[in-house]
Structure 1
């Protein structure tokens, strides 16, 4: 089945065209899958302390996130490596049911090990749902609407950074952490049953369905190592784990270049190929953006901001991403290419500007002096949102037709990898710079200076890469 028929003239189409009567069902299904993955990532992080207080397992605390992220990466890979003849709609149904089973296991878990199994199952299902959103784009929408759909998914991730912790806080406040999982079960079942009616049964147009097992194992091991690195405090051990992760990714890349059975679309591991530079730009932008995870700590420690206010302030990063995504979604051709370049420059400049703006002991009450830091937070997210949808659209459009499932699945995978490596790297930087020793104001100032100085470096790489991305035809 080809693209869903619609009556809206494409030249006048906007992002709201995705919600036209003919496209609305599919848009809700695909957007719903991304929403589950995005929001659940943040909800569990918020209710995790309540879970530990109830069923114990503090020593396994970090694995709630680690297993979810690793399983999510595997889920996105599954979209492209599914058995021959299995359609995307069937995978969607399986993904929704898997997510529901995982949520149910988490809700009824009597101990932490059982909950971890549920988190892994839940992560696997949500990873598939996220990957399917991009895989379905070319079948659901005509090409002029691809970037509109990508904009919508980017906006969902931006909103999730605010909505997830807020919902998690509501459940955690009442000690109702099990309810935070159980409410997802009927929703997942509804999505699975609705998929048969609301999503098209598209043909499997892949020519090579062999499973690149070695590359998958190496990549998952890298994700696990770097995710664990992001959860431990010992600086030297954290650095070793990151180094091992990088070595595993390097080994995967070498095998991918020589193997006939590939995990990624052709050219994705050769820097001379445009699609490789597109993926690397996404990876570096996500890597830089994760430096925002320490903003609440610096706000509270260095500027006397309350936890609630610091939460709202860091949400400006998400707000910037969302606003920029809508602002640039109509760009095509050269304006779209310029948006990618401008986005990389803005994100990098905003990150570096946090050194003089945030890495100070300026009281939050001095609004005029603190305003530049607030603007910089907003521009960090704005930079990512400005070019994100255009990067995604270019990847899908650049990949060969028989490899577009691989290309689509790799978008979600690359985003997760950037976040995982970024979280681990920021931990190494701040701990090495004195966040805990000597700690306090002095340690916070040192950590903030080094964090935003070093995390701006990958942004320079993104800027260089962005200038090599040629404009696509409008």
Structure 2
């Protein structure tokens, strides 16, 4: 790698450095893998109404997301516990092939059950690709560019938020949902073919362990139980399922603490572990941000906004994440820790503020409340975006020797679990506080108030975790 493009400690790393000839192909491959996953996520969300109209399966609608997320946890975990002979670029090939096979299954699916099978295979491949986006950073770039690379990959999600619904809308308008999945097949094949030629092998130091099968099963089961809990009508059953999910998480943590086959790096399951605090901050911020899943619904029902406009308004959350990531990318040391803390505070306050702006009946579409709701939605994303890349950099620097692959893959696991638990908790809250019973406008207002009040709490907990976070001493002034 050329040293001429490595920024000095006094100079802020520039995004353009990632596209220098020494790093260009790695940047395109890693960013492309995350982009493929991110865009497809939004395409599928847009296509699902067309799919159920065509082949039925409305009762399985939510499972298209749940099973995808659960499978991605398995894929990201394999990256960390893969056999010693399997290099990272081989994992990339496996991930791209699996993603392509899953897309092909969805393309030809005659029933919703087959679509879900395809989504499971897609999710498995996506878990590989996203985990590798982070795991490869230390092989493709010098350390001063780690935070900048993390910023770029975070920004991919912001771009995908606009591309996904647009592409999905084009195919949905013509009921061409099969063609949308088919388009992903050749892209996956190309990426699988060129990965060994454009990416380093990535077979550096790591500790080889057995697969943490029990912990994985418990966590995936907890996700599925919470998803069931968010969809059942009986409050008692909802409570039982949610309680069982909590017990599953506790059991997974207890086993992880003493297991030889570990899901997380050694020492992570410890109250005093800085790495554990970083992972918890990530998880809490993501749980809060997933309250956005109901923003389009409340905009349409309470504020009279059209579906298309509501979709693009909620996309401002991802835009805020992207904007903040770029604005704070050059910070390091104590300043990086400050923006993590400030970002958590901002996300907490913005989420809580939606209780007063979004959670109200506004049949006349009063621009004041719409504008304020839009601003706070943007600020929710801005808050998490301020610190995300620096949290990723913390993980790579705090990872124990030989366990950097496992630490990097765990970032994707936290993302998947945060998204799954956040969406499921949001469903439980709104369904338990009036959205279904009594329903209507009054039920939606009450549910929205409870949702944003309660889901501001995980981000508030992240504030406490971020206080006193150890700062990196390499690169950049404090």
In the alignment, which residue of structure 2 is the partner of 1:8? 5
Task: Please give the alpha-carbon distance, in whole angstroms, between the structure 2 residues aligned to 1:456 and 1:85.
Answer: 44
Distance 1:442 1:144, change over 3 A: same
C-alpha deviations, 1:246-266, integer Å up to 9, x for none? 211110110111112211012
In the alignment, which residue of structure 1 is the partner of 2:266? 266
Residues matched between the structures, number: 471
Task: Please give the alpha-carbon distance, in whole angstroms, between the structure 1 residues aligned to 2:401 and 2:146.
Answer: 15
1:147 and 2:144 correspond:
no
Task: Please give the alpha-carbon distance, in whole angstroms, between the structure 1 residues aligned to 2:156 and 2:230.
Answer: 25
Q: For residues 78-227 of structure 1, what are the structure 2 equivalents within 5 Å?
A: 78-227=78-227
Task: Please give the alpha-carbon distance, in whole angstroms, between the structure 1 residues aligned to 2:46 and 2:233.
Answer: 20
Task: Please give the alpha-carbon distance, in whole angstroms, between the structure 2 residues aligned to 1:413 and 1:186.
Answer: 27
> How far is the alpha carbon of 1:165 from its aligned partner?
2.1
Which residues of structure 1 form unaligned runs of 5+?
Answer: none
Is the 8 Å Cα contact of residues 66 and 228 (structure 1) preserved in structure 2?
Answer: no
Task: Please give the alpha-carbon distance, in whole angstroms, between the structure 2 residues aligned to 1:227 and 1:94.
Answer: 28
Root-mean-square deviation (Å): 1.6
Task: Please give the alpha-carbon distance, in whole angstroms, between the structure 2 residues aligned to 1:60 and 1:118.
Answer: 14
Is the 8 Å Cα contact of residues 84 and 209 (structure 1) preserved in structure 2?
Answer: no
C-alpha deviations, 1:43-92, integer Å up to 9, x for none? 11221121222223333333322221111110000100111121101111
Task: Please give the alpha-carbon distance, in whole angstroms, between the structure 1 residues aligned to 2:211 and 2:434.
Answer: 45
> How far is the alpha carbon of 1:235 from its aligned partner?
4.3
Task: Please give the alpha-carbon distance, in whole angstroms, between the structure 2 residues aligned to 1:236 and 1:123.
Answer: 31
Q: For residues 307-326 of structure 1, what are the structure 2 equivalents within 5 Å?
A: 307-326=307-326
Q: For residues 446-457 of structure 1, what are the structure 2 equivalents within 5 Å?
A: 446-457=446-457
> How far is the alpha carbon of 1:231 from its aligned partner?
4.4
Task: Please give the alpha-carbon distance, in whole angstroms, between the structure 1 residues aligned to 2:6 and 2:204.
Answer: 29
Is the 8 Å Cα contact of residues 135 and 405 (structure 1) preserved in structure 2?
Answer: yes
Is the 8 Å Cα contact of residues 106 and 115 (structure 1) preserved in structure 2?
Answer: yes
Is the 8 Å Cα contact of residues 231 and 428 (structure 2) preserved in structure 1?
Answer: no
Deviates more, 1:401-410 or 1:229-238: 229-238
In the alignment, which residue of structure 1 is the partner of 2:383? 383
C-alpha deviations, 1:359-398, integer Å up to 9, x for none? 2223564323543222111100000000000001101110
Deviates more, 1:107-116 or 1:375-384: 107-116
C-alpha deviations, 1:126-157, integer Å up to 9, x for none? 11000011110111111111111111111112
Task: Please give the alpha-carbon distance, in whole angstroms, between the structure 1 residues aligned to 2:15 and 2:401.
Answer: 25
> How far is the alpha carbon of 1:232 from its aligned partner?
4.4
> How far is the alpha carbon of 1:203 from its aligned partner?
2.3
In the alignment, which residue of structure 2 is the partner of 1:62? 62
Is the 8 Å Cα contact of residues 230 and 431 (structure 2) preserved in structure 1?
Answer: no
C-alpha deviations, 1:290-349, integer Å up to 9, x for none? 111111121122222222221121111111111001010010111100010000000000
C-alpha deviations, 1:274-305, integer Å up to 9, x for none? 00000000000000001111111211222222
In the alignment, which residue of structure 1 is the partner of 2:459? 459
Q: For residues 200-349 of structure 1, what are the structure 2 equivalents within 5 Å?
A: 200-349=200-349
Is the 8 Å Cα contact of residues 81 and 208 (structure 2) preserved in structure 1?
Answer: no
Distance 1:52 1:370, change over 3 A: closer
Which residues of structure 2 form unaligned runs of 5+?
Answer: none
